Structures are given as C-alpha cells and as structure tokens.
Structure 1
Amino acid sequence: MDTKIRTIHKVDLERMVLDESAEPTYLPLSLLQEITDSFSDDQQIGSGGSAIVYKGTVGKGMVAVKKLSITIDMHENNFHKEVECLMKAKHKNIVRFLGYCSDTQGMVGDYDGKFVMADVRNWVLCFEYIPNGSLDKYITDASCGLKWRDRYRIIKGSCEGLLHLHENRILHLDLKPGNILIADHMVPKIADFGLSRCLDEDQTRAFTSHLCGSQGYLAPEFYRGQFTFASDIYSLGIIIVEILTGEKGYPEEENVVANWMNQLEASDQWHTQLEQVRVCTKIGIQCMDLNPKKRPVARHILDRLDKTEITIETGISGSSVEQQVSFLKEQYCQEKNSKLSYQYLGKEIKEHAGTEGLAEYVEIPREDHWQQGEQEASSDQWPLRGVQDVKKTVSPQGASISSSNNGVLYKLNNLDIFDRKAHRNHVRYGGPTLENVNFVKLFKKKELSPILKNKNLIRRDSFGVVYMGLVDSVPVTIRKLFSGSVVQNEDFANEVIIQSQVIHGNMVRLIGCCLEFEVPMLVHEFHSTANLHYILHINIKVPLNLGVRLSIAATSAGALAYVHSAFATKILHGDVKPSNILLDNNFVPKISDIGISRLIVRGHEHSGACIGDMAYMDPLYVRTGLLTEQSDVYSFGVIILELVTRRKATHMDKNSLVINFLENHKQGRKSTELFDKEIAVAENLELLDTLAGIAAECLNFDVDLRPTMVDVANRLSMLNQSCNLS
C-alpha cells in the first residue's frame, strides 16, 4: 500500500516539476528518501547551519531536497513558519516550492544499556533544482566576470523578488548572495526562508531575543532585537554594491562610474548603461543607511530602475550624467595607454622612508605604558625622518600617490561639480574645525583615491574596509567606512580630535582624515598586516609559548587601561577582538580601530545600534546599545580565553567556547580540558588557572562585578613580570 501511495506522489511530483502553476503538496518521507538515495552523501549539494540540501532525481528531471537538521532547541513552529512563507511566495524570482514533509516515527534504540522508544522527527522541503549555483560565485569587480546587462538583470530580478515578498507581508531576514540562486539566462531566484517571518496586515515590525542571520548583511537594528521590511532593504543594498564593485562597502559614485566606463565604452548606448550603473550605486548606498526610515522601499527601488529602462528604450538620457560621462570617455581615451598599475604592498613596506610632510604628523613621543610617565618612542618604531627621500614613482612594493595625477580619476576629481561636492562633504564633517587643529592632517581626495583599489585591500570588518598604501612615501592604512550614517559636523570633528590624542606605543595612531568623500576616510599609521586572530586561528603552526601569550595579553591590557584612564573625556574602544590586535615580528601588539563605533553611529555611549563581531560583544551592549568601559572588559575576557585555549569564540553556537567555559566556572570545575595542549603542561597549569579566573571575572554577566581594565592590566603585568623572572 505504501509503495502504491509513493508511486502516486512520485507521478505528481514529476508533473509539478514541469508545471510551474502546480500548487505545493505534502510529500511522504519514503518518496524523498527514494529520490535522494536515502539522503546519501553523494547526493549532497549544499549545507548550512540548520539544513543539508540534496539533489533528487524525479523521472528525467531534478529537484532540490532540503532536510532540516533537528536540534533540541529547534521548535516545530520554525518549520511551520518557513512553510507558511514558502506557500505565499510564488514569483519568477523566488525559488519554486514543490512540497514538504513533516514526519515523526517511533524508533527503538539502546540508551545506556536499555532499550528505549524515541520519536524521530524529519522535516523536509522540496524545491525546483537550480543548477548554476548561487550569486556569491559570480561576485567580481567590473574588470572581469559578468557583463553589465547580466548584473543589472540580477539586481532588478532580486528587487522584484523582494518586492513580491514584502507585498505578501514576508520578511526574508537572511538576504545574501549565497541565498540568491542563478537560473538559466542569469535569472536570480531568492532562496532559503529558514529565518523568514510572515507579518500580520497591521504589523510593521517584529522582535526577537535570538539573533540569527549572516554577519555583514544584517541591518544594525537586528542587534537590538527588532527588524522591519527595511532590514531586508539594508541587506539588498549590500548585495547591490557587491554586484557593482565586487566588494562590500560604501562606494563613491563617480569611482564606480569610472570603473565601469572601461567595460561599456564599446557597447551600444553605453552612456545610458552608465546611467544604470549610477542609479544602482545610489540605490545601494541609500539602502545601507543606518536609519531604517531613510531607506527606500522595494516599490520605489523598482520604479527608479524602470525609469532607466525607459531611458534606454526611448534613447533619452539624463543631462547631468550625459555631460559627466562624455567628459569621462574623452579623458579615458586620452589616458587609455597611460593607466597606472599598482602592486600589492609587501612586508617590506615598513622599510620605506617618508618625507617630512607626512612624517611630522606621526613622529611624536608616545606613552609607552598606560601608567603616568612618558617615554620617547624608539627610533626603530618610526623610521620616517632623517632618511633619503624616495622617488615619487610606482614602486614594486606599492602605490605611489604623487605619480597618479595623470589618471582619469584625477581629472574626474577636478571637475567643478565634484569640487563643489568635495567642499560640501568637507564642511559636513567638520572640516572648518579640524583646519585649526595642528596635530590632525587633512588629506585631499586625490591623495588617497589611487590607494582605494581591491589590490590594496588588506582587511574588511563590520565597520568597513581597510587599504594599505603609500602617501608621500610613508606607509599608512586607510579605513573606508561602510555606513551612510556617520556622525557629522562637530560630532565627527570632535571624535577625530579625541582619537588623534591617543598617543601610546601599543595603540595604532590616527594621523588624520579626508573629508572630501561621501563618507570620510581615516588615515592611520601602518603597523602590520598580521594580527592575533591570524596567529591563533589561521596560521596555527606558529608556536606560541605561554610567555608570549601572557606578554600579548598584558601589553594589550595596558594599552586599553591607558585609554580608559588617561583622559578627561572617556575613551572606549567598542570593538575589542583579536583581529584588532596587530602583531609585529616579535609579537609586540598594537591595538587598532579604537573608537570607530563612535564615528559610525549616533548617541556615542548610547549608540542604539551594535556593530561589530557578536562573538566578542558584551551581552548588555547587545541588548541595550549601551557601550561602557565594562563592555571593553568583557571583550578582553574573551581574548584571554582564546589566548589560553587557541580556540575561536563563536556566536549563535550552543556549544561555544564562552558558554562551555562559564558553565565549568559556574559548576566549580576547572577548564583544563579547554586549554591549548601546547601550553597545558604541569608547570603552567597554576598560571593558566589564574588567567582563566581573570577571564571569568571579565565575562561576568553582572557588569558591576567585572574588574576595571586598569585592574586587569595591573594583575596581568605582575603575572608577566613573575613569569619573566622564573
């Protein structure tokens, strides 16, 4: 009987694969097992945090079968919500839902020597099969990969799919390139509704106490436990920018247009396609606004895209773009054979000498310890004065700024329209105030633009991207912020002034900034591309004895204690994590990115939006948006834990390092089994237990019971001294 029923369902499924108007239906587990060879590993085509996807054979066709990974904390309601959303989502730009299975079977098994009867649940979903993979495999910059027409088709199709979801009151909540499948003819299809919510007619937002989603695509309000339709729009904006540029970020409109000009100059109606590039860039930037109310709705986005198509069909183009791109094309043709090429900056960048024009901003005596008493920085830390000048040409080690003035972007920047724009930005971010501060260097846009290339990209995080290059032959890093809601006017200027006064031997120094971009650029001294995260978790073959680890902890704690205690104005880091602890060849640390969070969101201490790596965030900060000294202390406690275990802290993991450690501490158990075997030898165990105790205090959920950073620094310093004497 079961075989007969399964055969009927199989015939129905074959018909559904061919009939796009067919309604989703219930599918028996036995059928899904049959078409996937009992969920064989050989049939597996993908996996995620909560499911595995298999390829199923149905007649001459194929389907995708998603088998949810049942966990103790996974409620049946989650499955019901996903099915509810999928039943409503029927659109050419949404992966087609074919059927579902919710099956519970009683199974007899052996448990501690006893036979027990247990219910085994199976939740399975069936979809059309998309053979071309997901969008993340097609993300490149303008110089290679997909043509503009295909990229535009993906952008518009994704917008149309999202509009359909929102019109049906569905929040996707996990929109990212990996969840956009690419069908034939580059048609995008939104997939994976595992986190989706269906809202009631009168409901505009929802709340959650369990943060889920993909970091890098989550809207800031997610970290406060709330989300709206605008949260999906934020994710869409990041995706649009990635499709345009090949990277996440907050691009300059004219740079994107200039990059695409090279690819489009030979095509028909190239100027109107550049108009599409410009419009898509604007849309992407507006979608990423930190204020949800300022983001466009999906319908408005589609209307703007439709207007660009009308422009192409009728041959009408916007006058402002027509003038700009005509100039660009003329200049590009003249400069085509004289473009500068830049090489990656290698490790030798630190050997480059600098001119006094920039060096004067960085050769300043610095506080070498968090306690009072200044010492002059050693000569090998600042090799920027008293050395031979370097010729201002392109070097094999990096990009020389002075030699780029003949490029097309330089001429674009000298257009009057962009000069006015640069001046407006300069004023918007407090330029007149900073002009009167002699220890903050204000860079010109033309000085930094040549460095802002993919080949010079060394790091990306929740706040933006970091590039490395030479300015006046001096090695620097340039931080380009993601957000469209950077604090402005005196707020930004005052934060820069405060951060520029943090002068310490173990803190990366802020040299200055450029205010002429849409979002200001921060220019820091260059220290190293290596960091604690890389040494602990990626290049794991590097031996790290306990003395080295303790020295890193003590020195880093001292630097944080210095900024917490040495200024009348309270200075907090706000994003303490291993990747922000840079290490030189002798494992001497320098902490980078201090106070970046205060530049990105309003409210300063009461930021209202938590941005950063959730694995290191104080739970109170996540819940309230209140950033305090104790927030940095909590983050540093996680770092101590990683140093003694050489294990990566994770978020949204019920078996995470922090949870296991705190459970041991709560039960009065030692965490010896968590310690890194390289250092967990008998003579080190007492010191490791002491470090674990300090970490536990820092990680206390009661913020009033956490130690201060000064106290942590003192205790680690004494441990480090005693370790060196022994």
Structure 2
Amino acid sequence: MDRQASTSHIHVLERILLDENAEPTDLPLSLLKGITNGFSPAHQIGRGGFAEVYKGVVGKGMVAVKRLSRTFAVHENKFQEEVKCLIKAKHKNIVRFLGYCADTQGKMEEYEGNLVMADQRNWLLCFEYVCNGSLDKHITAATCGLNWRQRYQIIRGICEGLLFLHKKRILHSDLKPANILLDGHMVPKIADFGLSRCLGEEQTRYITQNLWGTLGYVDPEYIRSRQISFSSDMYSLGVIIMEIVAGIRCYREDEDVIQSWMIRLEALEGDIQLEQVRVCCKIAVECMDLDPKKRPVAQHIVNRLDKTASADYLDETSIGNSLFQPWVSCPREQPGERIGKLAAGSLQVDVEEHSEILEDVAESIEWLHFQDGQQKIDQLPSRGVQDTKQKVNRCGTSISSCIPNVFYKLNKLNIFHRKASRNLHSIDMHTLEKLHNIKIFTKEELKPIINSTNLIGRGVFSHVYKGYVDNTQVAVKIPFTYSSLQNLEFENQVVIMSQVSHKNIVRLIGCCLEAGSLMLVYEFVSNGSLDEILHSRDKVMPLNLDVRLNIVAESAQGLAYLHSQARAKTVHGDVKSANILLDDDFVPKISDVGITKLIDLSDWRYSSILVGGGSYIRDPVYVQTGMLTEKTDVYCFGIVILEVISGKKPNHYDDSSCGLATRFLDVHKEGKKATHLFDMDIAVTAGDLEILGHLAEIAVECINFDADQQRPTMTDVAERLLILNRSRRPQAV
C-alpha cells in the first residue's frame, strides 16, 4: 500500500474513533500493522489462548487491536459470527467495535519434504481502547478497594449491557470479569464476543458439540445438556455480581458479606446503600439457581436495580475521581474460599503460639500467589517473629485487610499444625530417603527411558514413558509443573502416595526430585486403560458383563479406600476411564492419584482444556464452585459406570443432541427403564438386564446435581457394587 492510501485509511479509522455514530468498517492489514508497530511486543497489552491484543496509536487517540491466533483450527464462520454480533452490539456498556480485517495471503511452507503454497489467515478486530483494564484486576473484598457506589455502578452497567445484548438476540456465552473492561470513569464495557451467537427471532437456545467457557462462570446446565441459552448468561452474571460484592466467587447469600459492608459504610439497617448490597446479593443467588427456569431475566434485574437506586446515585456524572477512596493493598481470595474474620486478639494468640513455625514460614510466603496473576502476598519479615508481631499489632482490633488473608492461606496449607508444616516446607531428599518403600532415582538413571520411542501416554497433566529399571518394567510419569508451590506439593504428594497401599491403586515405586526433572515412577500395568479397551475401534479385547462388573466394583473399592481408609485420605480429582488401568487379569488399578494437586488449575492452559476438551466428565457442582471434594469423585465415577454399561464415550451424542449422562438422567426422571441405552453386546439374558439396571440406578445417583444430600459416598457405592459382583460369581465362566 502506498503512503497516500495508508494515510487515507488512518484518517478513516480516526474519524470512526471520534464519531460514536460511525459504523464499523473493513480495515487493511497494513494499517493495523502500522499502528501497532508491526504487532510489537512493546505494544502488547493482553494475551489469551486464542488471541493477542495490541495497543494502536491513531492520531492523538488509541485503539485496541485483537489479533486472532491459531486461525487454522477455527472455521471461518466463527469469525464471521463474532463480527456479526459486534456490529449489532452498540451500547455504552459494550466495548465499541471500530472495524475488522479478514486477510488471507499465500505463503510457501514446507510440508512432508515439499514446498507448498499455504493460506495464511489474518483475522483481526479493532476496538476502542479502554484505559482501566479488566474488572478482574479491580475485584477485592468489601474491606478495601472500590467503594460501594463504584461497585453498584459497575453492576448496573453490566446488567444494562447484557439486557441490550439479549434484546438484540445475542448470547455472549463467556461472561466473566476478565471480559469486562473499565473506562476512565469506571464505566463497565462488556468485551470478547469470540463465543457469542446471534439467535433468530424464534430461537431460544443454541446447541454445541464442544464445551467452551471458563471454569467457575460457565452454566452447569450447559455442561449437562450442551444447550446454551439466555439463562446461561444470567448464571455467569450472578457469579460476577457476587464476586464484585464479596470479592470472591461464592454461591449463596452470605451475612458476613453484608456485615463487612455495614462496617465499611458505617451504615445502619435501612440505609439505602446497605439495601443495595442486599438486593445485589439476592439477585446473584437467584441468577445462580441450578434450575435455569428459575433464573431472572436481564430486564427484571435492571428494574430492581433502578428501584433501589437513590436519586443522587442515579446521576452518572457523579462517578469520577471524587468518589475514589484510597486503595488498600488487599489480595484476592481464591474461588470457593471464605475470607477468615480474624480479630487482632486471636491473631496475637496465633503469633505467640506458633512463633517458631512463623520463623520457618516467613521465607516461604513469597510463593503464595493468588490466581489470575494477582499480586503476591506481602512477605512477612524474615528477620524474626518480633517484626511479624508488630505487623499484626498495627492492625488494632479491626479486621485487617491483609494479615487475615495471609493467616487464612497459611491455615489452609496446615502451616499452623507443626507436623504438617514441617512436611510441607521441609521435605527434602533426606526425608524421602527414609521412606523405605520409595526409591529416589537420579535423572541419569531414568534418562534412557525418556525418549519418543518409549512414549505410551500424553495427557493434559503429564507424559508417560515405558521402560525398565533394575530389570523391572515401570511407567515414568513427568507432570507439568510451573511453580515452586507445585514443586513443594510434588514432594508432599510423594509422601502421601508412599502411604497408599491397595491392590486397586497403581503403586508408586519411586521418584526423581532433581531441579527441573521431577518424575514419578510407577508399576507398569500391562493391558492399558479401560477407556482404550471400551472404545477402541477394533475391539481386540471385548469385555463381557462379568468382567465389566468386576472392574467397576474393584475400582470403587480403590476410590473408597482413598476417601476413608488410607492413612492420608485424599480426593482423586480426575476420575475417568482413561485413569483406570487393567492388568493381565483385567484387575483395575486407579492411576494419577494426586496429580491434579500438582497443577495450577487457575492457569488458562488448563482451565480452557478442562472446560473445553475434557469437561464432559466434569462435575457440574465442581464447575460451579471450583472446589474438588469426595463427591466430585463420586460424580465422575458415575460417568465411568455409564460408559461401562453403554459402551459409549461420555461425550457421545444421539439424534436428540443429548450427552450420555443427560440421556440416562432423562430416562430416570420419566420412571422408565434404560434398556435401549445398554451395550447390546453384554445385555444378553434377563439376568444381564437386571444387573445393568442396578448399575444404571447407582450411576444416576452418583451424578445427581444435589451433591450433599443425594449423592452416595464412595464407601456406599463400593458396598453395593460388591454385593452385585458377588451375585454374579456363580454364573461367571
């Protein structure tokens, strides 16, 4: 493009930027390259799994240029759908769309030893630049950060923006604080329409084959049914509202939150701002109802917020620098956790009682990070506990905005239990060498095994290699770890796994703890995974009903042992057929125990995978709360049972576009038998159908949405399966 044409395009973009009524237009690639200095790293202001965002300079103004990556894996219709939604979405609470670029260029690439002309797609979107960044960077507890008027303004703005989208028949599908930007006056603007859909006038929902979204914000009903609707956006909105009000993602109304705001506002019952806090909490809880039909619509929420707004607060021009209060550095709590209300008196006792431990702990505070790239907790002084006492005493009798969070985090890690703290922080080679049943390997000893010819497994969390050590066949697992916290957790998990001894759990033989070469060495289980055998195309090893029943019965015994009988009781966290291995006699052995504890699940690399590719076995309650419990394992084991009795993968869809779990749940609700859903290869006799019916009943109980009241424990499941298994033994061949 010549200089004159380039200048002309810049003037066009500058005019659109200055004229709020101007329509978005197509923009040449050369222009977007020029204003971002060739997509320079110095101009990069954001990066995600599917795009990078750059700041561009246009005259005296600035824009944000979103450059989509991995376009080869994205259908062109998806980009067109995003542009279509953006053009329709013109509202003060939606980030303003200026233009787009869909450029395809031919480029010579080497393919299988030959040079071929390949299409290189350049898909870019241009937006107004929103200076205060995303909402997630501004969320704190009620005790600090944004004042209530700012938070209420942000909540109202988000709701009004969402109402506009829904009136235009647009599903956002990925609402979260990271996708809400704040301008110079802290006015919220909904952004990132990459997963959005424009619905027809008569259309109320959209069915997807793959799951997309963000853990903690995605609607559990969408996880269950693959159907996304306006109520799905309302669920995400509820999570966001509660997070703005409370500073954490929680899923019920909490009087502690009201109390915190009463203290900060110095308000009495009946105060208009305190009433607004209550209304927002109630709206959030209603939006997060697991029954989509009970969730309010956006119009109803906006009406309620308008009704509770005082006359002086309605003046939007009052939102400015005059309302900013001095910010207190306050770290953000992790999802599902409660902010501990520790008064100075109790903190003083803790400091005095645990002074020796605090001296050890002080140096380890530096690796306590909060999720989403938030600030580190301020380091406690390493000079000694006296400084720590002084820091606590300075808090006075009020609830400190920072110290309780430090103590809360340390308490969650059992730092204040002397034995536990020693295990967590001081485990080293010397300690592990005392574990008689665990061998410490050097990197050199395992190096011959770690090569591509020995690779037998590649998963989300690790690579697995097969080889021999001391004439014994082993499996070497290399977990993906990214921080010193995971490294310390790795050592802790070795100690825990050394105490696990059960015939239905893969035995840990040893480990390598050398820096940068963390490895786990397990017994080798010869027949591969239950997933491979059930779903392989060639069906080399078909499993009859008796074998399948024994597999689920003994697997349940292994999980029940982990939950209630092991010396170090633990949640598995990733129960699935791929993690149930079978030996030469088809005896099941559960693998990957404790692996999820080594992974930073707040990392986008894993959250996107968990909610994208593999979330068909994710417990909806876990998706909602972000908390792994024994009942999460129960849910996932219920899905394994459904796989075993149907012969279908969990993400298998029939003509009704319903997943495996949904089909079984629907049949159960209708009071019908699930005979048509069973694998006909194993449903031969009336006795077979009876056993399969009992298995289906147990599985449906396991995947019940009411985790606390309706789901059984793994011990109960194991006992019932044991009875069924014994009833078949006389018939086994």
Normalising by structure 2, what TM-score?
0.51
Gap change, CA 1:237 and 1:617, over 3 Å in 2: farther
Checking the alignment, whether the CA contact within 8 Å between 2:504 and 2:558 is kept in structure 1 is no
Q: Which amino acid aligns with 2:262?
A: M
Gaps of 5+ in 1: 315-337, 353-395, 400-406, 410-452, 461-465, 476-531, 560-569, 595-612, 622-632, 660-697, 714-726
Pair 1:591 & 2:570 matched: yes
Distance 2:101 2:79 in 1: 10
Gap change, CA 1:138 and 1:458, over 3 Å in 2: same
Pair 1:295 & 2:295 matched: yes
Where 1:23 maps in the other structure, the secondary structure is coil
Gap change, CA 1:341 and 1:199, over 3 Å in 2: farther
2:200 matched to which residue of 1?
A: 200
Checking the alignment, whether the CA contact within 8 Å between 1:617 and 1:635 is kept in structure 2 is no
1:528 matched to which residue of 2?
A: none
Q: Which amino acid aligns with 2:486?
A: N
Distance 2:588 2:200 in 1: 39
Q: Which amino acid aligns with 1:539?
A: Q
What is the 5 A alignment of 1:248-287? Answer: 248-265=249-266, 271-287=271-287
Distance 2:263 2:217 in 1: 29
What is the 5 A alignment of 1:506-521? Answer: none
Pair 1:703 & 2:704 matched: no
> Any idea what the Cα deviations from partners look like across 1:621-665, whole Å, max 9, x if unmatched?
9xxxxxxxxxxx9995444877999999946549x9999xxxxxx
Shift, 1:70, TM fit: 2.3
> Any idea what the Cα deviations from partners look like across 1:418-443, whole Å, max 9, x if unmatched?
xxxxxxxxxxxxxxxxxxxxxxxxxx
Distance 1:93 1:638 in 2: 45
Distance 2:15 2:202 in 1: 38
Q: Which amino acid aligns with 2:644?
A: V
Shift, 1:552, TM fit: 5.4
> Any idea what the Cα deviations from partners look like across 1:276-324, whole Å, max 9, x if unmatched?
111111111111111111111100000000111257779xxxxxxxxxx
What is the 5 A alignment of 1:620-631? Answer: none
Shift, 1:538, TM fit: 3.4
Q: Which amino acid aligns with 2:487?
A: I
Give RMSD over aligned pairs. 5.3
Gap change, CA 1:643 and 1:309, over 3 Å in 2: closer
2:662 matched to which residue of 1?
A: none
1:412 matched to which residue of 2?
A: none
> Any idea what the Cα deviations from partners look like across 1:152-179, whole Å, max 9, x if unmatched?
0101001111111111111111111111
1:210 matched to which residue of 2?
A: 210
> What stretches of structure 1 move > 6 A for 4+ residues in a row?
311-314, 344-349, 466-470, 532-537, 570-577, 580-583, 640-649, 656-659, 698-701
What is the 5 A alignment of 1:400-439? Answer: none
Distance 1:183 1:575 in 2: 53
Checking the alignment, whether the CA contact within 8 Å between 1:253 and 1:278 is kept in structure 2 is no
1:551 matched to which residue of 2?
A: 498
Q: Which amino acid aligns with 2:569?
A: K
1:538 matched to which residue of 2?
A: 485
Distance 2:488 2:232 in 1: 41
Distance 1:301 1:69 in 2: 37
Shift, 1:589, TM fit: 2.4
Gap change, CA 1:103 and 1:200, over 3 Å in 2: same
Where 2:271 maps in the other structure, the secondary structure is helix
What is the 5 A alignment of 1:135-284? Answer: 135-224=135-224, 225-265=226-266, 271-284=271-284
Q: Which amino acid aligns with 2:570?
A: I
Q: Which amino acid aligns with 2:31?
A: L
Gap change, CA 1:29 and 1:244, over 3 Å in 2: same
Gap change, CA 1:7 and 1:547, over 3 Å in 2: closer
> Any idea what the Cα deviations from partners look like across 1:176-216, whole Å, max 9, x if unmatched?
11111010111000111111111111111111121111101
> Any idea what the Cα deviations from partners look like across 1:51-104, whole Å, max 9, x if unmatched?
000111111111000000124431111111111110111000000000000010
Shift, 1:3, TM fit: 3.9
Shift, 1:540, TM fit: 1.5
Where 1:186 maps in the other structure, the secondary structure is coil
Distance 1:137 1:646 in 2: 19
Checking the alignment, whether the CA contact within 8 Å between 1:36 and 1:55 is kept in structure 2 is yes
Distance 1:555 1:8 in 2: 73
Gap change, CA 1:552 and 1:148, over 3 Å in 2: same
Checking the alignment, whether the CA contact within 8 Å between 1:14 and 1:58 is kept in structure 2 is yes
Gap change, CA 1:290 and 1:343, over 3 Å in 2: farther
Distance 1:210 1:286 in 2: 27
Distance 1:223 1:310 in 2: 39
Distance 2:23 2:192 in 1: 19
Distance 2:127 2:146 in 1: 26
Checking the alignment, whether the CA contact within 8 Å between 1:25 and 1:99 is kept in structure 2 is yes
Pair 1:104 & 2:51 matched: no
Distance 2:595 2:151 in 1: 44
Gap change, CA 1:140 and 1:109, over 3 Å in 2: same
Q: Which amino acid aligns with 2:231?
A: A
> Any idea what the Cα deviations from partners look like across 1:444-481, whole Å, max 9, x if unmatched?
xxxxxxxxx86675599xxxxx89999xxxx9xxxxxx
Distance 1:261 1:67 in 2: 45
Q: Which amino acid aligns with 1:87?
A: I
Q: Which amino acid aligns with 2:237?
A: L
Gap change, CA 1:619 and 1:89, over 3 Å in 2: farther
Checking the alignment, whether the CA contact within 8 Å between 2:500 and 2:567 is kept in structure 1 is no
> Any idea what the Cα deviations from partners look like across 1:196-242, whole Å, max 9, x if unmatched?
11111111111112111110111111212111111111111111111
Distance 2:598 2:141 in 1: 40
Gaps of 5+ in 2: 315-341, 358-388, 421-478, 507-552, 580-586, 616-638, 650-694, 696-713, 719-733
1:36 matched to which residue of 2?
A: 36
What is the 5 A alignment of 1:87-98? Answer: 87-98=87-98
1:326 matched to which residue of 2?
A: none
Where 1:162 maps in the other structure, the secondary structure is helix
Checking the alignment, whether the CA contact within 8 Å between 2:214 and 2:607 is kept in structure 1 is no
Q: Percent sequence identity over matched residues?
A: 48
Gap change, CA 1:547 and 1:67, over 3 Å in 2: closer
Distance 1:73 1:10 in 2: 31
Gap change, CA 1:272 and 1:7, over 3 Å in 2: same
Where 2:569 maps in the other structure, the secondary structure is strand
Q: Which amino acid aligns with 2:45?
A: I
Where 1:145 maps in the other structure, the secondary structure is coil
Shift, 1:264, TM fit: 1.4
Shift, 1:116, TM fit: 2.0
Distance 1:283 1:468 in 2: 35
Distance 1:574 1:243 in 2: 43
Checking the alignment, whether the CA contact within 8 Å between 1:556 and 1:590 is kept in structure 2 is no
Checking the alignment, whether the CA contact within 8 Å between 1:638 and 1:699 is kept in structure 2 is no
Q: Which amino acid aligns with 1:249?
A: C
Where 2:67 maps in the other structure, the secondary structure is strand
Where 1:185 maps in the other structure, the secondary structure is coil
Checking the alignment, whether the CA contact within 8 Å between 1:553 and 1:640 is kept in structure 2 is no
Gap change, CA 1:545 and 1:313, over 3 Å in 2: closer
Shift, 1:115, TM fit: 2.7
Checking the alignment, whether the CA contact within 8 Å between 1:342 and 1:455 is kept in structure 2 is no
1:605 matched to which residue of 2?
A: none
Q: Which amino acid aligns with 2:241?
A: I
Normalising by structure 1, what TM-score?
0.52
Shift, 1:118, TM fit: 1.1
Checking the alignment, whether the CA contact within 8 Å between 2:130 and 2:183 is kept in structure 1 is yes
Distance 2:300 2:598 in 1: 52
Gap change, CA 1:303 and 1:640, over 3 Å in 2: closer
Where 1:591 maps in the other structure, the secondary structure is coil
Q: Which amino acid aligns with 2:295?
A: R
